[in-house]
Chains A and B, each alone.
Chain A
Amino acid sequence: MDSSKLNEWKDFCALVADNQTAIFQFAYRMTGNRDDAEDLVQESMIEAFRSFHAFRPGSRFNYWVYRIMTHNYIDRYRKRKRIDLVSLDEILIGSEPMELADYTSDPQEVLNRNTWSESVQNALNCLSVEFRTVIILCDAQGLSYEDASKILKCPVGTIRSRLHRARAQMRSLLQSDTEDCRR
């Protein structure tokens, strides 16, 4: 690495270190599990450093990373939607029973079962990507409507409307104690 790139790297690492917790929390709330959260953070950090020359010093680094992570998450979600899903309720004649991946293999996640935080995360997982992003940015990460609108590149009115509906949905989901809607 040449000296200018090395200085860039040092600045980047310093900014990441200051915002590590917030970045990981955002990724976890978006994805709903640790493995996906780590993948999302890693992808986003690579992209963030690649375009670090475009980051304006003095602006909020975590907001800039949230934007990258949101785009990466939405792209990944769109790819997942294209994958053919097989109904588990269908019994295929002559076929062997299907084996499912166990998302609760993480002991930490097993301990969190039936706790309030698990219910909240389950309810978040049940929201659409647009609603989940807005409610996490505004309520979980504490951003204003204006900051959220810059990150998501949509009008403040859209943010208000989505937040309103997301909260109404969350409320009914928490009341009904919905099972895991992880995608």
Chain B
Amino acid sequence: MRNNCSCEKYWGLLNDYADHRLSGRKREKVEYHLLFCTECKERLAGIREVKSAIISSPVPGSTDDFWANCYDKVLESQKPKVRTRRRLWKPVVGLSLAASCIGVVLLLTGLGRIVENSEIPDSDYMMQHASFASTQPLATRTHHVLLAEQCIEHSSEDNPSDPANGLKDPDEN
């Protein structure tokens, strides 16, 4: 009986030998080794047995219906996917509403500021300016001074007992 150590180098070649992949010197060496080694002969027989078992075992065949269905499925997969139109109106309406709200808020804020800026000033403050302004020639008076005079006129109409209403009309001078 041969030493297993020398057989190991042939084990890897047995598959190639069974598959007719060895040629020349390698094949001769394997064939010579097989003449004397029972273990390697058994291994080779086992490899051939497995090969023939796999080749010879029958496999159930497919049916014609299967292939017809298969072709149909392949054709179906090639059809372009129908895309449903996205409903864009919802986001558009939403955005419009949001923009409108922002616009309204800005508008109100802006109007508020304008009103604030054009607000009739405090009457006491105006009184001081008006008394000074009344001594000035008309041409030098600023718009605000004129506005202050108007303010006084309005307040005198509302409250005739107000001492401030005793101011002279500058035009009278």
Contact = CB atoms under 8 A, between A and B. Distances in A.
User: A and B: real partners?
Assistant: yes
Interface residues of B, number: 29
Interface in A104-159: 108-109, 112, 116-117, 120-121, 124, 135-136, 138-140, 142, 145
Interface of B: 12, 15-16, 19, 21, 46-47, 49-51, 53-55, 57-62, 66-67, 69-71, 73-75, 77-78
Given A20-B62, A24-B61, A29-B59, A45 B51 contact: no
Given A45-B73, A140-B54, A164-B12, 11 more contacts: A1-B78, A16-B67, A20-B67, A28-B60, A42-B69, A42-B70, A46-B74, A112-B60, A135-B54, A171-B47, A174-B49
Nearest to A140: B54
A174 B53 contact: yes
Contacts of A67: none
Contacts of A21: 61-62
Interface string A1-22: 1000100010001001000110
A contacts with B: majority SS: helix
B114 to A, nearest CB: 67
| A-B complex: 9 closest residue pairs judged by Cβ atoms | A117-B57, A120-B57, A24-B62, A139-B54, A171-B46, A25-B59, A46-B77, A170-B50, A167-B50
Interface residues on A, range: 35 or more
B5 to A, nearest CB: 19
Contact of A116 (B19, B53, B71): B53
Contacts of B78: 1, 5, 49-50
A145 B16 CA distance: 10
A140 B55 contact: yes
B contacts with A: majority SS: helix
Nearest to A9: B75
Interface of A: 1, 5, 9, 13, 16, 20-21, 24-25, 28-29, 34, 38, 41-42, 45-46, 49-50, 108-109, 112, 116-117, 120-121, 124, 135-136, 138-140, 142, 145, 160, 163-164, 167-168, 170-171, 174
Contacts of A9: 75
Contacts of B55: 139-140, 142
A34 B60 CA distance: 8
Contact of A108 (B16, B57, B60, B73): B60
A38 B51 contact: no
26 contacts: A13-B71, A16-B67, A20-B62, A21-B61, A28-B59, A42-B70, A45-B70, A45-B71, A45-B73, A49-B77, A50-B78, A109-B60, A112-B60, A116-B57, A120-B53, A135-B54, A136-B54, A139-B51, A140-B54, A142-B55, A160-B16, A164-B15, A167-B46, A168-B46, A170-B54, A171-B47
